[in-house]
Amino acid sequence: MARRGGFQGGMPGNMGNLMKQAQRMQRQMEETSKELEEKVYTAAAGGGAVTVEVSGKKEILSVKLAEEVVDPDDIEMLQDLIVAAVNEALRTATQESEAAMARITGGLNTGLGGFGL
């Protein structure tokens, strides 16, 4: 009696192709992640009074302050400008990372593989 159901002899052609595509996509995502981690993103606040650089790993690399922004009587403004510049640089890094991954996945929700970039 012939057996019904199941796959004899390994994966069917479509499943094999799907697996190859998934592996290729995973390699592309890993390569892109490495490239993005090496990038540097710069943002400024207060008309350039505060400039911040962050890495693609989302680490602060530098903070540059214009002399005129350093006012001992207004520390709060300086703090606010630093926070604004850091947040903008991090936002830029995140947006570029998400856009790069979306190009690879065709907009597919990357939550399936847990790639939280």
Q: State the pLDDT at residue 104.
A: 86
User: φ and ψ at 100, to 5 degrees?
Assistant: -65, -40
Residue 5 has pLDDT above 80, yes or no: no
How large a percentage of the chain has pLDDT more than 70?
A: 79
Helix (H) or strand (E) holding 99: helix 75-105
**How would residue 10 be classed by pLDDT, with cut points 50, 70 and 90?**
low
**How would residue 82 be classed by pLDDT, with cut points 50, 70 and 90?**
very high
DSSP 27-61: HHHHHHHHHHHH-EEEEEETTTTEEEEEETTS-EE
User: What pairs with residue 32 in β-bridges?
Assistant: none
**Tokens linked to 87:** 């947040």
